[in-house]
Structure 1
Amino acid sequence: MKPSAGSGPVTLAIMGCGQRGRAYAVYAQQHPERCKIVAVAEPRPKTRARMVQEHTVDSSLTFKSWQAFHAASEETIVTIGRRLADAVLIAVQDHMHAELVEAFAAQGYHILCEKPMATSIPHCLRIEESIKKAGVIFGMGHVLRYSPYSQAITEIVRSGQLGDLVNVVHIEPIGHTHFAHSYVRGNWAREMDSSFSLMTKSCHDIDIICSWLSPEKPERVSSFGGLRHFRKEAKPTTAGDSTRCLSCPAERSCPYSAKKSNVVYLEPVQAGKTGWPAAVIVDGIADIENVTDALHSGPYGQCVYESRNDVCDNQVVNIQFSSGATASFTMVAYTLLQCERQTRLHFTHGEIVGDMTDFTVTDFRTGATEKRSPMREGGGHGGGDLGLIRAFTEAVRTGRQELLGTDVTEVLSSHLTVFAAEESRRKGVTVDCGQFERKAREGWLLTGKQ
């Protein structure tokens, strides 16, 4: 695979300028010598204008839709034999990923795709085929792999200094307000609009567990969980017939109020906190007027007990690997911690216990315990967002997929483990992962790869 960029910075086109697109684009501002945003596509006018302004994108490379960028790119490829950028960053809604990956891989773009890979098994298989056929660099938004914290742990795992990894216990405390924002009121609240919550929220948790135990493969998986609390029957009787927080008599005592200062939107904005999550519920700057309007008329002001959500708010996953090693993962909404994973890795000669900021390493042979605090370099996911875009940019510059530490087939494999876990939860059975993948691939071929 040949490098795409010359001596200058790697050029990126961003498809989707929302919270995730912006999180990756920060790298171009911090390191303009390595990365430059040269084109954007975004349907929301104020959100699009903000990205254009921040990265001084030329008006001729500013588009209202990804299709418009794709068409302009096709014309440029045909007329002058070159693409509009070295790579495309896909940060649109989850169900659109396969279509965009397929379209831009065919044009020869290297691709960084936000998680999840896709929302159905056929779409994941389409992505694998598209990337392999095009022979382009592929990065996946499994940002947990790329934080200094995770990479320090991975280095110990790979070194073998604590012996064989036998068991992983990993917990994702989503945070009660974060879950209410994203998975009750937000874009990932209903499976038919996106996917099940284990996929949309925690596919990168399953991925990093699989990566620590690699090259061993998941052999069997079981899972349990459901929607426990965010249902109409759990609504406080004092709320009466109210369906919105701003007019609810129980609002001050509700832990999921869209108004209260210790939760998410209105009062935090009044105090000057205009970042996530308030920033993503409006087009443009999150000010009092815009946020108030959104809470009066949009889904983010709805009562969490009157919303149309249907995805799990708690789930456990158990995995047995081909080596006999085991792993357990818990995803739960009802926590004060927000996405600050708790992890224990148990080896034959020691253990690692971490909280996504610090971790302790204990060697059973010497009895020594050492606390390690990897560098915190800012950005989301403990530096994982910046770590991923940095690795992707360098992979594109050098033409080396291995710099990302994974490839499209490994990404597919961890996603299939997530799909298998969800099948176990729904059917109440233990799923054979190898058989599950064989059936998925065979079914895809039999249906004409649709």
Structure 2
Amino acid sequence: MNRAEFLRIMGAGAAAAAMSNFTSVSQAMESLQQKKKQNNGLIEELSSTLESQEAVVDKPITAIVIGAGARGRTYASYSEHFSKSLKIVGVADINKERKLHLKNKYNLSDEHCFNDWSEVFSIPKFADAVIIATPDNLHYHPCLKALEAGYDVLLEKPVAQSVKECTDILKYAKKYNRIVGICHVLRYAPYFMAMKKVLDAGMIGDIVSIQHMECIRFHHMAHSYVRGNWKSARETTPIVIAKSCHDMDMMRWLVNKPCKSLSSYGGLTLFKRENAPAGSTERCLDCAVEAECPYSAKRIYLKDRRYLYVFDIPDNERNDKKYASLIMDKLRTTDYGRCVFRCNNDQCDHFVTSMEFEGNITGAFSMEAFTATGGRLTCIMGTKGWLKGDMKKFEVTDFLTNKHSVWNQDISSLPGYEGHAGGDFGIVKDFVLAVANQDASYLTSSIDLSIESHVMGFEAEHSRVLKKRIEL
């Protein structure tokens, strides 16, 4: 394959973004020259820079935000950076403060600001698309109504609460010929895009095995999956879906083969009433042993000022002393101030899955709450080399030459690459392009491409509960 053919198939921008900023370029070029001819295109792209996150369209697509919480606001903020690509024209949220925040930010008319998602569809269609970023149990019905009404949909993960609901959404998308993009944002992170291109180019030969670990981080677990919105698997989705459908999707995408069978183990070990320390109380503010607890709400929210978006405190003002009384009030009155051992939560705090993919490829996934740092650790073993990464950089080792190539693109200060390792705006960009051109192929995470990894997640939970191997 010559360079022109490579760029035509892969897309010059995608190839550039994926393969940019390898260090030790001369070493990488020396070893890659011994590879197959199709890798020549990759060599020329090693030192290229990341492409812009702006979707170049004839006119901005218009969108309604359903769910004005943290994720909805993040996707909507794309329009602030790239006003020629996306325009927010409506909002729906039961929280009046959040609704008013978006109303004022985007200068929305009163008639296009709604108290409930169902009100959006009680009037004639007035936008190109809807962004659904409601809680997990409010994805299914709003999405079906949106598709019926003729809207394209950007749908926050997880798709829905069951395999049936996921497949129903797929059926509706096909029935009404609409585009549904699923926010598997890690597919759009430069780190994983580069990793995918390296694997597809055969730089480590044929994939034999993949090991992938999601490190939730101890205080993130306490915030989101013990005290927070996703504390109940019954009311939302099991944590392997709620938190780790990203990771199931990533493993499936990188391996590029269907999963044939899996077995899972795990459970809730620590955050249970019987583990509450002697002297502890219902709320951290009243607790005599609070200072000895790493999961203290007082420590997490008041001292360290983490996750204050749930109290609608702007991130750039989170250390302002004026919010101390507000935080104290929230710790007295909401679940975020409750003892982690008394939250009526049921999500696993550790979860492992062994997988067999087509082609005798094996996989091992681990989701761990008790880690000091967050992120993902990945090792992929191939017949000609191996790859290991930590979501900041990855290293490829060639077995024949013992050459080491390192991808280490610093995106932390780049506009549009802030969230989820740069993936948050990447998904919005491709969704805008898909809607503007009415072509779902702009998306690597359309509904039809995302169903399979959701099935993997739901069946992984079934395997854990039933304590048996599941054939897919």
Partner of 2:385: 350
Q: Secondary structure at the match of 2:165?
A: helix
Residue 367 of structure 1 is aligned with which of 402, 423, 434? 402
Q: Give CA deviations for 1:143-171 in whole Å, capped at 9, x if unaligned.
A: 11110111011111111232111111111
1:300-321 Cα offsets, whole Å, 9 max, x none, are 0000011100110100011101
**Residue 229 of structure 1 corresponds to which residue in structure 2?**
270
Give aligned-pair identity as a percent. Answer: 34
AA at the equivalent of 1:170: H
Letter in 2 for 1:380: G
Name 2:435's counterpart in structure 1: 396
Gaps of 5+ in 1: 77-82, 270-275, 434-450
**Counterpart of 2:367 in 1: which secondary structure?**
strand
> Residues 101 and 358 from structure 1, CA distance in 2 versus in 1: closer, same or farther, beyond 3 angstroms?
same
After TM superposition, the score normalised by the length of structure 1 is 0.87
Q: Secondary structure at the match of 1:104?
A: helix
Q: Quote how far apart the aligned CAs of 1:6 are.
A: 7.3
Q: Which residue of 1 aligns with 2:288?
A: 249
Matched, 1:217 2:258: yes
Aligned to 1:279: 309
Q: C-alpha distance in 1, partners of 2:324/2:207?
A: 51
What pairs up with 1:376-387 in 2 under 5 angstroms?
376=411, 377=414, 378-387=417-426
What is the match of residue 304 of structure 1?
340
In 2, distance between residues paired with 1:133 and 1:396? 17
Q: Deviations over 1:383-415 (max 9, x none)?
A: 111111111111111222111124322211111
Choose 358-367 or 177-186, whichever is displaced more.
358-367
Residue 430 of structure 1, CA deviation: 0.6
1:394–1:375 CA distance, 2 compared to 1 (3 A): farther
Divergent runs of 4+, >6 A: 283-286
Shift of 1:348: 1.0
Distance 1:246 1:280 in 2: 18
Question: 1:138 aligned to 180, 200, 203, which one?
Answer: 180
Counterparts in 2 of 1:256 and 1:355: CA distance versus 1, 3 Å: same
Confirm or deny: 8 A CA contact 1:140 1:411 kept in the other structure.
yes
Match of 2:53 in 1: none
2: CA distance, partners of 1:26 / 1:291: 25
Deviation (angstroms), 1:322? 1.3
Q: Is the 8 A contact 1:282 1:290 kept in 2?
A: no
Letter paired with 2:372:
L
Q: Does 1:412 align with 2:451?
A: yes
Matched position secondary structure for 2:345: coil
For 2:328, give the aligned amino acid. T
What code does the residue aligned with 1:31 have? F
Q: Distance in 1 between matches of 2:470 and 2:293?
A: 39
Give 1:90's match in structure 2, choosing from 118, 129, 132: 132
Q: Distance in 1 between matches of 2:468 and 2:304?
A: 45
Partner of 1:59: 110
Aligned: 1:49 with 2:100 = yes
8 Å contact kept, 1:46–1:283: no
Distance 2:449 2:312 in 1: 36
Contact 2:57 2:85 in 1 (8 A): no
Q: What secondary structure sits across from 1:192 in the alignment?
A: coil
Greater Cα offset, 122-131 or 303-312: 122-131
SS state at 2:134 partner: coil
1:69 to 120, 125, 134: 120
Q: What SS does the corresponding residue of 2:371 show, helix, strand or coil?
A: coil
Partner Cα distance (1:318, 1:302) in 2: 35
Partner of 1:13: 64
Distance across 2 between alignment mates of 1:132 and 1:347: 37
Which secondary structure state, in structure 2, belongs to the residue aligned with residue 259 of structure 1? Answer: helix
Contact 1:148 1:383 in 2 (8 A): yes
- What is the CA RMSD across the aligned residues, in angstroms? 1.6
Distance in 2 of aligned mates of 1:110 and 1:345 = 36
Matched, 1:315 2:357: no
Deviations 1:75-108 (A, max 9, x none): x2xxxxxx31111100001011111111001111
Asked if 2 retains the 8 angstrom alpha-carbon contact of 1:44 and 1:283, the reply is no
